[in-house]
Amino acid sequence: MNDTEIMERVKKVISEVLGIDKDKIEVTDRFVEDLGAESVQSLELVAAFEEEFGIEMDEEKALEVKTVKDAVEFIKKYL
């Protein structure tokens, strides 16, 4: 899977979980400040990424990820 595909799937998950338009998500966006995620939704995002990519992530470290770009980089480690 190349970076573009991963990015597209990450954006799809974010769009579904946060209920926002996929096309409005930028690579540099921060989950809370730019995409309006409530801090309580971080757990749901982690579970949704795991489901989408069929992976199990280190939850503590996954919850530290703050931007879309960093989420892609973090997920790549498990693929």
Least distance in angstroms from the C-beta of 50 to another protein: 6
Measured CA to CA, the distance from residue 25 to residue 43 in angstroms comes to: 19
Q: Is 35 in the site for another protein (CB under 8 A)?
A: no
Q: Figure out which of the listed residues 25, 35, 48, 71 binds another protein, where binding follows CB under 8 A.
A: 48
| 3-class state of residue 62 by DSSP | helix
Least distance in angstroms from the C-beta of 1 to another protein: 20
Output the CA torsion 54→56→58→63 (10° steps): 50
Partners of residue 67 on adjacent β-strands: 30
Site residues, another protein (CB under 8 A): 16-19, 38-40, 42-44, 47-48, 50-51
